[in-house]
Amino acid sequence: MKTKTDYLIFKTKNHREYHDITDDVASVVEKSGIQEGMVLISAMHITAGVWVNDHEDGLIKDIDEWLEGLAPFRDDYHHHQTGETNGDSHLKSLTVGHQVIVPITEGALDLGPWQRVYYAEFDGRRKKRLVIKAMGE
pTM of the model: 0.95
Beta bridge partners of 128: 10
CA distance 37 to 59: 30
For 62-82, what is each residue's pLDDT tens digit?
A: 999 999 999 999 999 999 999
Q: Which domains does the chain have, with CATH numbers?
A: 2-136 (2.60.120.460)
Mean pLDDT over all residues of the chain?
96
Helix (H), strand (E) at residue 11: strand 2-11
Let me know: does 114 contact 54? Beta carbons within 8 Å: yes
Non-local CB neighbours of 66 within 8 Å, separated by 6+ positions: none
47 to each of 4, 85, 116, how far by Cα in Å? 25, 11, 21
For 19-61, what is each residue's pLDDT tens digit?
A: 999 999 999 999 999 999 999 999 999 999 999 999 999 999 9
